Structure 1
């Protein structure tokens, strides 16, 4: 097929793209037209099927257009007459639009809580972050009162500038960090290999959202999660900095941007900067050794990171000195080590065992949950490991020589983060090792995208996609492969019963119920609830500078029977639809059964004094326990 005949396919591709953009728009419109009327246990099942169908169509079109260019003889060999550059320009104008379509599809997917009118999306830490954003907006605290005021400051600014409620402003701030990740991961890979096909692969790799695990890394307000996603911008500037002209002006421009983004990153979360110090000190060591061992190599010719690594150290020490964060981390690591050595703490091993036992009681197991959560992570980790081994062992591959410096840098980053992962893993009762894991997945995403690019045959300097009788030009198998990976990954990024978790949806009824409960509370009567719920909602509503820890949980053995015998003084008991659906459906009545909730209505001395359909407040008359 001649270039001219290939160009004739462009109108059909443009029509397909138009259909894709229309599908995204219609999906967003349908989702907005089906707002949540109450608590939803799963955003996947409660979002109308037509919305998912539209998003699937849009992503399928984006994948097809991105990975299957118009066919022509030799997978890019030009025949016939005409300008080759004009032909290339026509053939590849649709590919950037395909990336935009894929990105918009992901934006609509991630923004579904906003589009469907959720009051808020996030529990536990997210509610505390909402309260801090509220305190910033009301002026009761200032940003420097917080360890990591990044998302809270952005939320308050959006609230003031746009005038939307704080809850929606915070969800927009979260979405912004995801967009940063989706934009700068492919741009970082594009800097490393300077090939648009690598950018395409990296873009769809970023859509997998590998740093999000729903275990200590979330799609809700969680400072470390947003900081890790935001770090994609820092790694893009890192790649640019390595290749910057060594003249003072250029180095100052890129280096200045790097330093500025470093400041923004520490504002998002100083713990991430502590981890990045390990990464960049390791990279600096590699560069130092390369200048002495292989002074004519590619690494030696790149701009050294010494100054930027030193700046990160100074920045971290300067920021944390005002908050005691550094000393707190040292105390945490030392106590974790002592507990491990003397056997006082169970560490992650006992936590995993307990979770395994709980999953076993639900008829599941660690193997099933691992496959649901980490299949794609495992595949990309294997790809990254393969690329690292190939880059270290190959000596005659021009493409591997081009990517060897960054491959080695990212490998050093993974090795350096390993001990931190281990320390957190050994800490009793901690799941913070998944924070390190989330950061490691940023490097795995970059390395995995580079590995797929190399395996696809796009690395040939002559250009064009490798072609054989089994793998036709354009690598349509990549489109199919990414389609499967996206389904496997994205079905687990929102908590749902699929992963034995409830959705962290906060409904209007739940929020207003807690607001009423706090407003009408007798100061002498304490509030109790299930799984620390009252404390977090107290934070969200009142904007407490310090996390509220005055409300308590109902003992598991007393809930449903014996509440009046449990307390010497009167109590308020608050129970929401979220509590019921979480315990009965998501957790399969592991702790509390449907009968326990129903028993509240008939237990002597426990009287319901307020309800709005999804939130009930009971008064526990402790004096009835003596009757």
Structure 2
């Protein structure tokens, strides 16, 4: 037994975990669905729901940790933890959200529409859209409904694959018992509830890694065939994941030159070649991909370039005079669990390298590969953070986190193994249990966007869908649309697909002037030369007070501004369903300027 020699203890953990999961599910079913937009999903349920679900995950981890000599009980603990995490991924569905994801998810729903109408031509990553479209055709359910369920299914695959990967990595049951708790939780945070191609490909990666490990051990033809299919799937889901996966294979190949072979390994070179061939054959035929690669290389080699994420964050903190306590809170809640994973994995790797140099151990190849890959992607994350590249630093950070999570328990096992006294091992076990509670809390806190991290809930409401549908159907298509609390082009993409466009549906510069320019003019219409629509949602009305309650001087719009809008003579409300308003703004700047010019005895100059 890895931690505890008392056999009743894992059974007690199992009973406690089942009880807590039953309590959590009971609360989940007793709370009615959301009636409108809720900026906090965390406040939709009472505190004891979150205590119960976190407790159920931790209980499952502790069952695994204390059951190295009992496969059945250990498997039960893993299923308990996985079931608890899956329960969390179902929250957007249980809350009754029509869609969870206010940005890319809506655009991808439009791409599902396009792929049914026009095929895969021009679609860079069609697997997600083909899958949703096929399931919709088979079940008769709307793609909007099915896309909420995809992250649930992929999370099951992710957690199951991580479990099998650890089992395959660590033949020693005690080593596996220490490693498994760190993969039986929502490792990737918000990725477990987001249905976009990169995230889904990320959730598939452990399955390909598991097959890679299994193929190397067994060289079985069925496993090799599944490995080929898994690699092709990961590559086609998203180009960036394909490049990351290829980088991990390069690390593996490099390890063969540094470490003595510990068995036949015919697959890595073949898998790397397959990855390159599939990637080149598919993605290099898209001009957009080539342009992005060119922009990345240009940005890295040139002295100038755009603003990096790091510089943008620093500028925002300085401009808003943000309190350091608020900055640290956001950093801990959003990246605290990631820091723990990377910290433990790199500590374990450093210890293994030190022991290797001292001649005490001969590192196993996959331990070395996973450790080196963790370090590689930590470094890549820094590069992405400090340079203006095509995506943010969170993507390489998340990919490396998969490898870090597998190794995170190694450091604890090393400490436990080198502690001889029972009291010392008990202290290690207690400290590990406390750390697991912290990691699970931080992972759960980062699953759903909320004002806790200066973000808003990704819920899309039925009222927003109805409001945008009415606006698009009844608008004067020659007029522009301003907005706050919603992205018009995302809803246009979802409704019409990407093959249809409108000159008056914009992607940027769509917000009205700060405070509706009431600090300068009596009416909003004085800010515009021509008429236009203004769309305002409940999210728009509450976003500043909810996200930045301590920074009122930084608010672009206040409750008083919204109240004044209702009495603005240049603004007429044309649609209202309780949480979604469409206004028609009468642009009066040109006419007012003309009146002033006439009064002054001169003709206004043409603009």
Out of 206, 225, 242, the residue aligned to residue 273 of structure 1 is: 242
What is the Cα deviation at residue 57 of structure 1?
4.5
What TM-score does the superposition give when structure 1 sets the normalisation length?
0.83
Task: Write the mapping of 1:295-444 to structure 2, written as runs, cut at 5 A.
Answer: 297-299=260-262, 301-338=264-301, 340-341=302-303, 343-357=304-318, 360-361=321-322, 364-395=325-356, 401=362, 404-417=364-377, 420-421=380-381, 423-428=383-388, 431-444=391-404
User: 2:111–2:497: 8 Å Cα contact kept in structure 1?
Assistant: yes
Q: How many residue pairs are counted as aligned between the two chains?
A: 577
What is the Cα deviation at residue 47 of structure 1?
2.5
Gap runs ≥5 in structure 2:
593-607
User: 2:107–2:493: 8 Å Cα contact kept in structure 1?
Assistant: yes
User: 2:198–2:238: 8 Å Cα contact kept in structure 1?
Assistant: yes
* CA spacing shift, 1:163–1:601, aligned 2, 3 Å: same
Supply the distance in 1 between the matched residues of 2:283 and 2:459 (Cα, whole angstroms).
33
Match of 2:578 in 1: 613
Match of 1:157 in 2: 134
The RMSD of aligned alpha carbons is 3.2
Supply the distance in 2 between the matched residues of 1:404 and 1:9 (Cα, whole angstroms).
32
Out of 208, 213, 225, the residue aligned to residue 239 of structure 1 is: 213
Supply the distance in 2 between the matched residues of 1:196 and 1:303 (Cα, whole angstroms).
27
DSSP-derived class of the 1:93 partner: helix
Query: Greater shift after overlay, 415-424 or 448-457?
Result: 415-424
Match of 1:176 in 2: 153
DSSP-derived class of the 1:528 partner: strand
1:349-371 C-alpha deviation (Å, 9 max, x unpaired):
32121332366447754333222
DSSP-derived class of the 2:573 partner: strand
What is the Cα deviation at residue 18 of structure 1?
4.7
Match of 1:100 in 2: 79
Query: Greater shift after overlay, 307-316 or 149-158?
Result: 149-158
1:373-413 C-alpha deviation (Å, 9 max, x unpaired):
22222222221112212222214999953x53112212332
User: 1:129–1:540: 8 Å Cα contact kept in structure 2?
Assistant: yes
1:489 aligns with 2:468: no
User: 1:494–1:503: 8 Å Cα contact kept in structure 2?
Assistant: yes
Supply the distance in 2 between the matched residues of 1:624 and 1:262 (Cα, whole angstroms).
59
* CA spacing shift, 1:10–1:259, aligned 2, 3 Å: closer
Supply the distance in 2 between the matched residues of 1:51 and 1:273 (Cα, whole angstroms).
38
User: 2:528–2:589: 8 Å Cα contact kept in structure 1?
Assistant: no
What is the Cα deviation at residue 135 of structure 1?
3.5
1:470 aligns with 2:430: no
What TM-score does the superposition give when structure 2 sets the normalisation length?
0.86
User: 1:122–1:506: 8 Å Cα contact kept in structure 2?
Assistant: yes
1:566 aligns with 2:531: no
Out of 79, 103, 108, the residue aligned to residue 124 of structure 1 is: 103
Out of 45, 48, 51, the residue aligned to residue 49 of structure 2 is: 51
* CA spacing shift, 1:601–1:172, aligned 2, 3 Å: same
User: 1:263–1:315: 8 Å Cα contact kept in structure 2?
Assistant: yes
Supply the distance in 2 between the matched residues of 1:171 and 1:18 (Cα, whole angstroms).
26
Out of 561, 577, 585, the residue aligned to residue 546 of structure 2 is: 585
Match of 2:597 in 1: none
1:263 aligns with 2:224: no
DSSP-derived class of the 2:513 partner: coil
1:33-61 C-alpha deviation (Å, 9 max, x unpaired):
42000001011012244533442443354
DSSP-derived class of the 2:218 partner: coil
What is the Cα deviation at residue 124 of structure 1?
1.6
DSSP-derived class of the 1:529 partner: strand
Supply the distance in 1 between the matched residues of 2:397 and 2:14 (Cα, whole angstroms).
40
Match of 1:194 in 2: 171
1:220 aligns with 2:194: yes
User: 1:501–1:587: 8 Å Cα contact kept in structure 2?
Assistant: no
Supply the distance in 2 between the matched residues of 1:516 and 1:58 (Cα, whole angstroms).
44
User: 1:467–1:473: 8 Å Cα contact kept in structure 2?
Assistant: no
DSSP-derived class of the 2:411 partner: helix
What is the Cα deviation at residue 158 of structure 1?
2.6
Supply the distance in 2 between the matched residues of 1:478 and 1:278 (Cα, whole angstroms).
32
Match of 1:556 in 2: 513
Supply the distance in 2 between the matched residues of 1:453 and 1:133 (Cα, whole angstroms).
47
Supply the distance in 2 between the matched residues of 1:284 and 1:10 (Cα, whole angstroms).
40
Gap runs ≥5 in structure 1:
70-75, 77-87
DSSP-derived class of the 1:599 partner: helix
1:499 aligns with 2:442: no
What is the Cα deviation at residue 429 of structure 1?
7.6
